[in-house]
Structure 1
Amino acid sequence: MMVYQLDHVVVWVADPVRSLAFYQEVMGLEPVRAVEYAAGEAPFVSVRLGPGTILDLMAVASAPKVDALTGVEGGAGNRLNHICLAMTETEFEALHQRLHAGGHGTTSPYLTNLYGARGNAPRSFYFTDPDGNVFEARYYDPA
C-alpha cells in the first residue's frame, strides 16, 4: 500500500494579511513567503504546519485564476468541512489559551476520544479563523 504525505492545503481567505496575523499571532505558526507576498513577488502567503506541510492563505478573489490553473471550473474558493491539527498536549493547551486571550474562543467544548489518523485523541476542540474556516485541535497520548 502507498503512503502519501500531505504537502499543503489551500485555505480561502478574504484578506491574506489579516489572516496571516491570526495564524502567526494566535495559532503560533511560522509564516512562509510573507516578505515575497508583501513585495508582490508571490501570489499568496503560507504558514508552516510541520517540516513538510504548509497552509496556503489564498485570497478568495483569486479563485477564478485557480480554476483556470487546475482546469476545474467552480473547484476553487470552497471551504472544507474542517482541518484537524495534531499537536502535543502542551501546544494544545497553549493554543486554547491564545484563542481565548485573543477574543477568538472556540466553537465547541473539549471533546474526548475522537478518532483520527493516530487512533483516539484524549481531547480536542474546534475553532474558526477570521474567515470562518473550521479547525480542530487535538493531541494524542505520547505512548
Structure 2
Amino acid sequence: MNGTAIDHVKLRIPEDGVGDALAFYRDALGFGIDGMDLYESGEKPFFSVRLAPGAVIHLQPEGSTTATDGYDHVAVRVDETIDGLERELDDAGVDVDRRLDPLGATGVAPAVYVTDPFGYRLELKAERE
C-alpha cells in the first residue's frame, strides 16, 4: 500500500457552531465550503471545508461536542510564504498560537498553529519561502 495524501478529516462540532465554523474557515482563513446545500436540506449530516482540490475537512454539527483529548492537529500545506501567511491571519483577526519549523510529509518548512472556534488546532505549513 502506498498512500499519497490525506483525503479528509472529519470533526464533530457543536450543533449551534455552523456560523462560527463558516466565520473561521471560510471568512477568516479563506477556504471554500462544499456541500452546504446538502447539509441544509438534510440530505447529508455534514458540510466540508475545501482545503485543496483533493483534501477536505468534514464538519458534522452534533450535540454539544468539543475537541477530544486524543486529537492533536491537522496539517494543511498552503501556497504562501510564512510572512504572507502571518499577515493574512493577522488581517483576519486570527491569533497565531505558535510558529515552528516542523518536519512534515514534504520535509521541514515553517508553519503556524491556529485554533478554530471549537478547540481544534490546525497547522498551516508554508509551501514556499
Contact 2:28 2:93 in 1 (8 A): no
Cα deviations by residue, 1:77-121 (Å, 9 ceiling, x for unpaired): 73620111111224x54543343233331111x323x21100111
TM-score (norm 1): 0.73
Unaligned segments of structure 1, at least 5 residues: 64-76
Q: Number of paired residues?
A: 125
AA aligned opposite 1:8: H
Asked if residue 82 in structure 1 is aligned to residue 70 in structure 2, the reply is no
Q: Which has the higher helix share?
A: 1
Unaligned segments of structure 2, at least 5 residues: none
SS at match of 1:127: strand
Asked if residue 117 in structure 1 is aligned to residue 82 in structure 2, the reply is no
Cα deviations by residue, 1:31-82 (Å, 9 ceiling, x for unpaired): 111122222222111111122221001124298xxxxxxxxxxxxx736201
- How big is the alpha-carbon RMSD for the aligned residues of Structure 1 and Structure 2? 2.4
SS at match of 1:22: helix
Cα deviations by residue, 1:3-57 (Å, 9 ceiling, x for unpaired): 3442210122111332123111111111111122222222111111122221001
* Cα distance between partner residues in 2 of 1:98 and 1:40: 34
TM-score (norm 2): 0.80
